[in-house]
Amino acid sequence: MNNERIITEALEVLPGGVNSPVRAFKAVGGKPIALVKGRGAKVWDADGREYIDFLASWGPLILGHAHPKVVKAVEEEVWKGLSFGLTNPHEVRLAHLVVEMVPSVEKVRFVNSGTEATMSAVRLARGVTGRKYVVKFDGCYHGHYDSLLVSAGSGVATFGIPGTPGIPEEIAKLTLVVPFNNREAVEETFRRYGDDIACLIVEPVPGNMGVVPPEEGFLQFLREITREYGTLLIFDEVITGFRLAKGGAQELFGVEPDITCLGKVLGGGMPVGAYGGGKEIMSQVAPEGPVYQAGTLSGNPVAMVAGVQTLKELRDREPYEELDRKMERLSEGVAGLLKDKGIAHRINRVGSMMTLFFTDREVRDFASAKTSDTELFAKFFRKLLDNGVLIPPSQFEAWFVSTAHEERDIDEALERISRAVKEL
């Protein structure tokens, strides 16, 4: 089946032809593609066309596609059985790796997605504190859990889905939304609701309104004000965990949250999420404590071995400087091409994640992110695709590089992007 046939048949049986909205290319127009193969830094579609891949499955593939160690471990495990429903040794190995690598985590519970991780973390925070309000930032995405799908960047921003259809007002009302990088707004919210706020959840480096770095001292400020009010601080490190450093953004910025949410890189391409924290908080999770949370396939052995191999590789190889250099090379290259062409732009980059905004304003929160010319972005995306470069089909997402992107892949990508920019 070629792209056209797959997409046509998909539209008959899947809403929008997809299982996750941003895949439908609605924000960028043109025909969606179906991918059939990935190796290292590249993917191939059903028509046999090759792309240099900066989508990286939306973040998990920090070692590139089909990394030999990951694939081998999965292959061996598959023959031993796909699921047992009781504890298996690989859960324990992966948990030890998480505890070793992530500074604030002493105990961890595995789930099957980032959404489950944030949903469970919020329940735990409410259970532990006996409070009901949740504070989140405008443009931060924490999965599609009811309490967190309010002013949630990414897919929601891309489609302009207004507010929260399907989410009762009574539930949405318990979520307080403030602009990112805005201390006064946070202070004001805590002054008004402080004693009833169970948790503040934040992507320490947001990637879902596009990449927006936290301003100097902002994360420390969040640590202090939550401590002052007895509110739990949740870092949603589903993107940043194991990507910005071995221990994620909390290591990079030296700020430790009470609860950490993980996903994406953690599963090395398999569906894995997790939430973790200090022993005291995690002892409140069932069956040790009263806060219930469960999963038939949680800790699935095949998924766990993919995570184990991925984290071991990251721990032993520490590729973070190398990843940083590669992304710097790419971002500087792209900036140069756009400058030569006289196109106003802004690139936000932290380590191996970046976003290109078509605006002349500094992007420090969701409001400024939205000043980007999304029509120009859509055109840029399509030209890139035509020239064999895949980036996320949405303005409000991050591009990623992996250890599999060699310098020659970056140079080849810049060649292709240069052709695309000429055609703009």
Ligand X SMILES: *Cc1c(COP(=O)(O)O)cnc(C)c1O
- For residues 143 and 117, what is the distance between their CA atoms, to the nearest angstrom? 9
143 part of the interface to ligand X, by CB under 6 A = yes
Which position among 3, 88, 113, 250 is part of the footprint of ligand X (CB under 6 A)? Answer: 113
Least distance to ligand X, CB of residue 300, Å: 14
The stretch among 92-100, 140-148, 163-171, 246-254 that binds ligand X (CB under 6 A) is 140-148
User: 17 or 114, CB closer to ligand X?
Assistant: 114
Residue 160 has phi, psi (to 5 degrees) of 60, 30
| Shortest separation between residue 150's beta carbon and ligand X, angstroms | 14
Distances (CA, A) of 331 to 54, 210, 335, 346, 401: 12, 14, 6, 10, 11
Asked about 264 being catalytic, the answer comes back as yes
Minimum distance from residue 120 beta carbon to ligand X (Å): 12
Nearest to ligand X of 98, 421 (CB atom): 98
Is residue 142 involved in binding ligand X (CB under 6 A)? yes
242 binds ligand X, rule: CB under 6 A: no
Please select the residue that binds ligand X; options are 238, 274, 385, 414, rule is CB under 6 A.
238
The owner of tokens 């007895």 is: 230
Active-site annotation holder among 42, 136, 138, 141: 141
104's CB contacts (< 8 A; 6+ apart) are 235, 250, 256, 257, 258, 260, 276, 277, 278
Tokens matching residue 387: 């020239």
Q: How far is the CB of 388 from ligand X (least distance, A)?
A: 26
By CB under 6 A, name the one of 3, 88, 104, 118 that touches ligand X: 118
Catalytic residue among 45, 53, 138, 236: 236
Please say if 141 is a catalytic residue: yes
Active site residue 37: no
Nearest to 397 by CA among 336, 354, 349: 354
Structure-derived torsion over alpha carbons of residues 360, 363, 366, 369, reported in degrees to the nearest 10: 40
Gap between the Cα atoms of 212 and 4, Å rounded: 36
Residues in 176-205 that interact with ligand X by CB under 6 A: 203
243 binds ligand X (CB under 6 A): no
Catalytic-role residue among 136, 264, 326, 379: 264
Based on the shown chain and the rule CB under 6 A, indicate whether residue 241 belongs to the binding site for ligand X.
Answer: no
One residue of 239, 291, 356, 384 binding ligand X per CB under 6 A: 239
**250-289 binders of ligand X (CB under 6 A):** 263, 273
The secondary structure of 37-61 as a DSSP string is EEEBTEEEETT--EEEESSGGGTT-
Alpha-helix residue ranges (DSSP H) falling in 104-233: 114-129, 153-159, 169-172, 183-193, 218-229
406: alpha, beta or left? (left if phi > 0; alpha if psi -120 to 50): beta
Name the helix (H) or strand (E) containing 250: helix 248-253
Active-site residue numbers? 141, 236, 264
Interface with ligand X (CB under 6 A): 113-115, 118, 141-143, 203, 207-208, 236, 238-239, 263, 273
